[in-house]
Structure 1
Amino acid sequence: MEAELGLRERKKRETRQRIADMAMGLFMARGFENVTVAEVARVADVSANTVFNYFKTKEDLFLDRQDVYVDEPSRVVRERRAGESVIAALRRDFLEALEEGDWRSGLNEGADVVIRLINESPSLMARMRELAERREERLAETLAEATGADEDDIRPGLVAAQVCAAIRRLTADGIRRKLAGESHDHVVRDIRAQAGLAFDLLENGIGAYGGA
C-alpha cells in the first residue's frame, strides 16, 4: 500500500511538473497574455480540468515555484550556522547565489526573459507584488519566532522589510542592467560590490549615512 501511494504521488509530481514546463515553453515563445489554459492542456496532453486540479490560476502556472520564493529568506534564517547573525546568514546566502548563478540572486540564466514576460503582464506584476508582501511577512514571522519577540515588538517586521527591500533592489538592479545589454560578468561584479554596501548598512545601521 505504501509503495502504491508513493508511486501515485510521484506520478502526480511528474504530471504537475510536465504541465508547468509545457506552459512555460508556451509563455516564453508567445508571451503570458497570449496563451490560454486550454492551449497548455492540449500541449501537455491533459484536460483543462486536470490543469486546474494542479494550478488554481494561469498565474500559478507561470509561478509554479512561488512557495519556494516566499519561504527562501526564512529558510536561510532557520538554517543559519551556529553563532551566525541573521544579516550575516542572508549576506552569505545572497553572495553564494550570485557566484553560483542561482535563481536566488536574480541573475541566473534566463531570468531576464522571465522578468520581461512579467513586465508585459499586469496580472503577473500584481501577483509578484503579492508574493513580495507574503515573503516579507513570512520572514517577519520567522524572525519573531527566532528571537522570542512578542506580538507588539516592531523589530522583526522592520528587519524583514529592510532585508527584503535590499535583496529586491539588488536583484532588480542586476536584471535591469542585463536587460540593457551589459555583460553578465560585469553585472555580477558590480552587484557583488553593491551587496557588500547594502548588507553593511543592514548590519551596522544607517545612522551616520547622509550626515552633513
Structure 2
Amino acid sequence: MHHSGEDDVDGLRERKRADSRARVVDVAFGLFAERGYDEVTVAEVCTAAGIAPRTFFRYFPTKDDVLTEPARVLADRVQAELAATPARVSDTAALHAALLVVGAELVADDQRAAGLFRVLRQAPAARAHPLMRLGDRERVVAAALVDRTGGTVDWRVRLTVARSTAAFRVWLDDLVDGAVEGDPMAHLREVLDAS
C-alpha cells in the first residue's frame, strides 16, 4: 500500500524526470537549429545537456525520438484534457476546448514553440517517425474522445478529430510563421470554428 509521503516522492521524481527530458529536448533542438539535425550527434547533445549517454537513452531510445517529443507532449496533453472533460460535453466542444488549452500553452511560450516546430519542418527523420504519422495520432485522440462517453470510434468521430486537428495545424503554422495578426488565441478560436 502506498502512503501519501511515498506518492509525493513518486510525483516529485516523475516531475524531475519530465523536467530533465524537457531540458534535453531544448538543448537538442537548440543544437539542431544551429547546425541541422543530421550534423548533431547524441554525444554532442549529452555534453551540451550535461548528461551521460546512458541517461539520454533512458529518456529516448534514438536521436529521432527527441524530434517527436514535442508532438508526444502535445498529444498527451490533449488526451489528458479530454479525459477531464465531462461526457455531457459534445465531442467537438470537448476537442476544441482541449486544443485551446494546448494552444494557450504554446502561445505562453511562443518563441520556444516556434523554434521546436521550425526544426521539425527541416528534419526528414521527424516526418518518417511513426509518432508523426497523423492518422495514427488522430486515432489515439479519437479513442480518448469516446472514452469519455463509452462510445465507439466511427467515421464521424474520426472526421471530427481530423477536421479539428487540421485546423489546429493551420493555426500552428500561422503561429510559427509569425502570420497571426492580433490575438493568437482569437485566431485559434476562429480557425477551430471554421473547421
- Mark yes or no: TM-score above 0.5: yes
- Give 1:72's aligned residue: 77
- Give 1:130's aligned residue: 132
Q: Does the residue aligned with 1:109 lie in a helix, a strand or coil?
A: helix
Higher relative CO (CA 8 A, sep ≥ 6), structure 1 or 2? 2
RMSD: 3.7
User: Identity over the aligned pairs, expressed in percent?
Assistant: 28
Could you tell me how far apart the structure 2 residues matched to 1:7 and 1:80 are?
Answer: 23
Q: Any idea what the Cα deviations from partners look like across 1:40-73, whole Å, max 9, x if unmatched?
A: 2233344434322221111222443443222333
- Give 1:140's aligned residue: 142
Which of the numbers 161, 186, 195 marks the counterpart of 2:189? 195
- Give 2:157's aligned residue: 156
State the one-letter code of the partner of 1:30.
R
Could you tell me how far apart the structure 2 residues matched to 1:194 and 1:11 are?
Answer: 29
- Give 1:111's aligned residue: 113
Superposition map of 1:1-212 within 5 A: 6=10, 9=13, 13=17, 16-80=21-85, 83-95=88-100, 98=103, 100=104, 102-103=105-106, 108-127=110-129, 130-150=132-152, 153-176=154-177, 178=178, 182=179, 186=181, 188=183, 192-193=186-187, 195-196=189-190, 198-199=192-193, 201-202=194-195
Please report how far the alpha carbon of residue 10 of structure 1 lies from its aligned counterpart in structure 2 after TM superposition: 5.9
What TM-score do the two structures reach when normalised by structure 2?
A: 0.72
- Give 1:206's aligned residue: none
Could you tell me which runs of 5 or more consecutive residues in structure 2 were left unpaired when the two chains were aligned: 1-5
Could you tell me how far apart the structure 2 residues matched to 1:19 and 1:65 are?
Answer: 12
Could you tell me which runs of 5 or more consecutive residues in structure 1 were left unpaired when the two chains were aligned: 203-212
Could you tell me how far apart the structure 1 residues matched to 2:130 and 2:174 are?
Answer: 16
State the one-letter code of the partner of 2:172.
T
Computing the radius of gyration from Cα coordinates, the structure with the larger value is 1
Q: Does the residue aligned with 2:183 lie in a helix, a strand or coil?
A: helix
Change in 2 beyond 3 A, CA 1:195/1:11: closer
> Which moves more between the two structures, 116-125 or 86-95?
86-95
Change in 2 beyond 3 A, CA 1:132/1:29: same
